[in-house]
Amino acid sequence: MPEKFYTFPEGAQAYIQTAENEMAQVSYSLERVTETFGIRWYDICHAKKSGDNYAPQQVLYLAPHSDDMEISGGVTTRAHVQRGDHVQELLVTCGSAGRSNRGFSEKTMPIVRLWEAYRAAQIGEIQRLGVLHDLSEPEKLGLNEWFSDFPDGEYARLGVNLIRHYNPHILYSPHPDVDVDGHPDHALTGEIAQWAAGWGTETDFYKDSFPATQTHLDSWRRYAVWEASEKLSANYYTAYDPSGPYAGDKMRRIEVFQSQGGVNYAYSILSRDEYVGGMNTVGNNKHLSYESFNEIKSPIVDTPRWK
């Protein structure tokens, strides 16, 4: 972590150099998931030991952008880690768009955002951080932002292969409906998860012709934290004390993403309440924050688009 905070855009080059130097020292493994796409995985932390009566779960968090997991599920992922679950975050985009006014470019931004995600994952003690990329361009980190030109059917194939390859118990993603979250990166990442949850666990001979009948996937939990998500009927919550250590941990993780909004990002771009989570008043006037999700047990999808 750098010894000082930089002021953008004047200090952007020093920030970029720090990111490049530190990530150059971090080893990674490359895993192919389709003919077109692979994942560059960075090991972050060893999984915590779970209790004697608890079987650890595999958790896969699909993040369209490198701060989405922290904003939408910083406390939820920490709770998984503390229980001894194995939490993996997969970044779908490279975070390259719209940063020139802060001293970054499409060429320099991806390594900066990856470095920030790596540091945030260290704070949250996430087990692994992955970034998706096109195998024809092995140095490219993630899909381009606003990737609405994603090849037809390829996101369905990618989602299916993600589940078949990593076989998580719980899958987190944004909602695929643009009426809930208007950002196309979020909606298309949600579609990747939708195909993953609906088709990825099929194991019989006709695995590409019929949806799953046998599943290891326990739950698909879709983000429900932004204003438009009020359209969702959230049915899964992680409640916590907004003045407690989990809230502080979440804010420290969000604060890492200085390239997104500069110093004090977690407090200056949106209000603390929006980042920490909605507020509830419970017994004895005690306030609780919460992260909310729309939990789906048995997703149903149509015929794969590549057929």
- Report yes or no on whether pTM surpasses 0.85: yes
269-307 residue pLDDT tens: 444 555 555 555 544 556 677 888 888 876 655 555 444
- Nearest-angstrom CA–CA distance, 174 and 194: 10
Tell me the β-bridge partners of 171: 60, 220
Report the share of the chain in percent with pLDDT over 70: 74
CA distances (Å), origin 82, targets 45, 76, 102, 129, 293: 12, 10, 36, 17, 19
pLDDT band at 97 (very low <50, low <70, confident <90, very high): confident
Q: What is the pLDDT of residue 225?
A: 55
Q: Which two tokens stand for residue 307?
A: 């057929």
Q: What is the pLDDT of residue 301?
A: 58
- Nearest-angstrom CA–CA distance, 188 and 193: 9
Q: Which two tokens stand for residue 282?
A: 């419970």
180-189 residue pLDDT tens: 777 888 888 8
- List, as one string, the DSSP characters of 21-70: HHHHT---EEEE-SSSEEEEEEE--PPPPPPTT----EEEEEESSTTHHH
Backbone dihedral angles phi then psi of residue 74, each to the nearest 5 degrees: -60, -40
- Nearest-angstrom CA–CA distance, 198 and 201: 8
- Give the chain's length: 307
116-158 residue pLDDT tens: 999 999 999 999 999 998 888 877 888 877 765 566 677 778 8
Contact between residue 84 and residue 195 where contact means Cβ atoms under 8 Å apart: no
Q: How large is the average pLDDT for residues 225-250? A: 76
Residue 30's contacts (CB-CB under 8 Å, 6 or more residues apart) are 38, 39, 40, 41, 138
Judged by average pLDDT, the poorest of 22-31, 44-53, 214-223 is: 214-223
Instruction: Using the predicted structure, report yes or no on whether residue 171 has a pLDDT greater than 80.
Output: yes
Give the 3-state secondary structure of residue 251: helix
Domains and CATH numbers, the chain: 12-49+56-296 (3.40.50.10320)
